[in-house]
Amino acid sequence: MVPLDPPAAKKLTKKDFTSDQEVRWCPGCGDYAILAAMQRTLPELGATREKSVFISGIGCSSRFPYYMDTYGFHTIHGRAPAFATGVKLVNPELDVWLITGDGDGLSIGGNHLLHVLRRNVNVQVMMFNNRIYGLTKGQYSPTSLVGLKSPSSPMGSIDAPVNPLAFALGANARFVSRGIDTMIKPLSGLFKEAHAHTGTSFIEILQNCPVFNDGTWTHVTAKDISHDLQVWVEHGQPLLFGKDKNKGLVLTGEEVKVVTVGENGVTEADVTVHDETNRAMAFALAQLMAPEFPMVFGVIFRDPGPAYDEGVVAQVAQAVERNGEGDIDALLRSGHTWTVE
Amino acid sequence: MDTPVSQDVTRKTLESVVIRFAGDSGDGMQLAGTQFTQTSAVAGNDLSTFPDFPAEIRAPAGTLFGVSGFQLHFASKEILTPGDDPDVLVAMNPAALKVNLAEIPTGSFIIINSGAFTKSNLKKAGYESNPLDDGSLDAYRVLSIDISRLATAAAEPSGVGAKSALRTKNVWTLGLLYWLFDRDRTSTTEWLKQKFAKKPELAEANIAALDAGHAYGETAELPVGVELYKVPQAKLPAGTYRNIEGNTALAWGIAAAAKLSGTKIMFGSYPITPASSVLHALAPLKHFGVTTFQAEDEIAAVCSAIGASWAGAVGVTSTSGPGMALKGEAIGLAVMIELPLVILDVQRAGPSTGMPTKTEQADLFQALYGRNSDAPLCVLAPKSAGDCFTMAIEAVRIATKYMTPVILLSDGFIANGAEPWSIPDFADLPKIEVRHHTDTKDFHPYVRDPETLARVWPVPGTPGLEHRVGGLEKDFKSGHISYDPDNHHKMTQVRAGKIMGIANDIPEQDVEIGESSGKLAMVSWGSTYGAVNEAVRRARADGKDVSQIHIRYMWPMPRNLEALLSNYEQIIVPELNAGQLVKVLRSEYLLPAQSLPKVAGRPFRVGEVLDAIDEALAGKESN
User: A297 pairs with which residues across the strands?
Assistant: A232
pLDDT at B223: 75
The answer on B330 and B404 residing in a single domain is: yes
What is the domain range of residue B547? 518-622
Strands (E), A75-174: 95-101, 124-129
Query: pLDDT tens digits for B219-237?
Result: 887 777 778 899 999 988 9
For testing contact with chain B, the best of A16, A115, A340 (most B CBs within 10 A) = A340
Euclidean distance between CA atoms A43 and A32, whole angstroms: 18
The answer on B114 and B75 residing in a single domain is: yes
Residue A16 CB-density burial (10 A; 0-12 exposed, 13-18 middle, 19+ buried): middle
Q: Answer yes or no: is B599 within a domain.
A: yes
Is the pLDDT confidence value at A5 over 80?
Answer: no
CB contact under 8 Å between B300 and A337, yes or no, is no
Mean pLDDT over B539-567 rounds to: 98
The answer on B173 and B97 residing in a single domain is: yes
Residue B506 and residue B385 in contact, taking contact as beta carbons nearer than 8 Å: no
CB contact under 8 Å between B38 and A336, yes or no, is yes
The answer on B246 and B156 residing in a single domain is: no
Q: Answer yes or no: is B439 within a domain.
A: no
Give SS3 for A168.
helix
The answer on B259 and B213 residing in a single domain is: no
CATH number at residue B532: 3.40.50.920
pLDDT above 90 covers what percent of chain B?
Answer: 92
pLDDT at B623: 43
Euclidean distance between CA atoms A100 and A79, whole angstroms: 10
Provide, as residue numbers in chain B, all residues whose Cβ is less than 8 Å from the Cβ of A72: 467-470
CB contact under 8 Å between A50 and B240, yes or no, is no
Q: Where are the domains of chain A?
A: 14-237+275-317, 239-273
Label the pairing between strands B405-411 and B378-380: parallel
CB contact under 8 Å between B289 and A50, yes or no, is no
Looking at the complex, does the CB of residue A4 fall below 8 Å from at least one CB of chain B? yes
pLDDT at A52: 98
Euclidean distance between CA atoms B118 and B124, whole angstroms: 10
The H or E element containing residue B326 is: helix B321-337
In this complex, the residue of A3, A55, A338 whose CB is nearest that of residue B42 is A338
User: B291 pairs with which residues across the strands?
Assistant: B266
Q: Answer yes or no: is B488 within a domain.
A: no
Mean pLDDT over B80-87 rounds to: 94
Nearest chain B residue to A320 by CA distance is B287
CATH number at residue B393: 3.40.50.970
DSSP at A104: I
For testing contact with chain A, the best of B37, B290, B296 (most A CBs within 10 A) = B296
Domain edge (last residue) among B371, B406, B428 = B428
pLDDT at B54: 83
CB contact under 8 Å between B469 and A94, yes or no, is no
CB contact under 8 Å between B300 and A111, yes or no, is yes
Q: Which of the four pLDDT bands, split at 50, 70 and 90, describes residue B56?
A: confident
pLDDT above 70 covers what percent of chain B?
Answer: 98
Tally the domains of chain B: 3
Sheet containing B88-91: give its strands across.
Answer: B46-52, B67-75, B16-24, B88-91, B109-113, B141-145
Residue A14 identity (one-letter amino acid) = K
Euclidean distance between CA atoms A336 and A333, whole angstroms: 8
The answer on B307 and B385 residing in a single domain is: yes
pLDDT at B25: 85
The answer on B248 and B201 residing in a single domain is: no
For residue A318, the distance in angstroms to the closest alpha carbon of chain B comes to 8
Query: pLDDT tens digits for B157-173?
Result: 999 999 999 999 999 99
Query: pLDDT tens digits for A268-297?
Result: 999 999 999 999 999 999 999 999 999 999
The H or E element containing residue B534 is: helix B529-541
For residue A241, the distance in angstroms to the closest alpha carbon of chain B comes to 41
CB contact under 8 Å between A71 and B42, yes or no, is no
B543 φ, ψ (degrees, to nearest 5): 85, 10
Report whether the peptide linkage leading into residue B574 is cis, meaning its omega lies within 30 degrees of zero: no
Query: pLDDT tens digits for B105-132?
Result: 999 999 999 999 999 999 999 999 999 9
Q: Which of the four pLDDT bands, split at 50, 70 and 90, describes residue A10?
A: confident
ipTM value: 0.96
Nearest chain A residue to B283 by CA distance is A316
Rg for chain A (alpha carbons), in Å?
Answer: 23
pLDDT at A63: 96
Euclidean distance between CA atoms B151 and B145, whole angstroms: 11
Supply the CATH classification number for the domain A14-237+275-317. 3.40.50.970
pLDDT at A6: 53
Euclidean distance between CA atoms A51 and B462, whole angstroms: 8
Strands (E), B151-309: 221-223, 229-230, 239-245, 265-269, 290-294
Q: Which of the four pLDDT bands, split at 50, 70 and 90, describes residue B622?
A: very low
Query: pLDDT tens digits for B331-379?
Result: 999 999 999 999 999 999 999 999 999 999 999 999 999 999 999 999 9
Euclidean distance between CA atoms B96 and B25, whole angstroms: 10
CATH number at residue B184: 3.40.920.10
Q: Answer yes or no: is B508 within a domain.
A: no
CB contact under 8 Å between A53 and B255, yes or no, is no
The answer on B95 and B202 residing in a single domain is: yes
Give SS3 for A35.
helix
Query: pLDDT tens digits for B428-458?
Result: 999 999 999 999 999 999 999 999 999 999 9
Report whether the peptide linkage leading into residue B223 is cis, meaning its omega lies within 30 degrees of zero: no
Euclidean distance between CA atoms B359 and B604, whole angstroms: 11
User: A129 pairs with which residues across the strands?
Assistant: A206
Query: pLDDT tens digits for B297-318?
Result: 999 999 999 999 999 999 999 9
Give SS3 for B325.
helix
Domain edge (last residue) among B230, B260, B278 = B230
* pLDDT averaged over every residue in chain B: 95
- SS3 sequence, B158-175? HCCCHHHHHCCHHHHHHH
Residue B263 and residue B434 in contact, taking contact as beta carbons nearer than 8 Å: yes
Q: Answer yes or no: is B24 within a domain.
A: yes
The answer on B257 and B223 residing in a single domain is: no
Mean pLDDT over A167-172 rounds to: 98
The answer on B339 and B221 residing in a single domain is: no
Mean pLDDT over B251-279 rounds to: 98
Q: Answer yes or no: is B391 within a domain.
A: yes
Among A8-17, B277-286, B387-396, which stretch is predicted with the lowest mean pLDDT? A8-17
Query: pLDDT tens digits for A184-225?
Result: 999 999 999 999 999 999 999 999 999 999 999 999 999 999
How many CA atoms does the CB half-sphere of B323 hold within 13 Å?
30
For residue A326, the distance in angstroms to the closest alpha carbon of chain B comes to 4
Query: pLDDT tens digits for A136-166?
Result: 999 999 999 999 999 999 999 999 999 999 9
Provide, as residue numbers in chain A, all residues whose Cβ is less than 8 Å from the Cβ of B426: 328-329, 332
Residue B224 identity (one-letter amino acid) = V
The answer on B301 and B154 residing in a single domain is: no
CB contact under 8 Å between B423 and A81, yes or no, is no
Among B4-18, B142-156, B308-322, B368-382, which stretch is predicted with the lowest mean pLDDT? B4-18
Nearest chain B residue to A91 by CA distance is B311
Domain edge (last residue) among B384, B406, B428 = B428
The answer on B153 and B246 residing in a single domain is: no
* pLDDT averaged over every residue in chain A: 95
Query: pLDDT tens digits for B493-502?
Result: 999 999 999 9
For residue A48, the distance in angstroms to the closest alpha carbon of chain B comes to 9
CB contact under 8 Å between B461 and A1, yes or no, is yes
Query: pLDDT tens digits for A292-301?
Result: 999 999 999 9
Residues written for chain B: 623
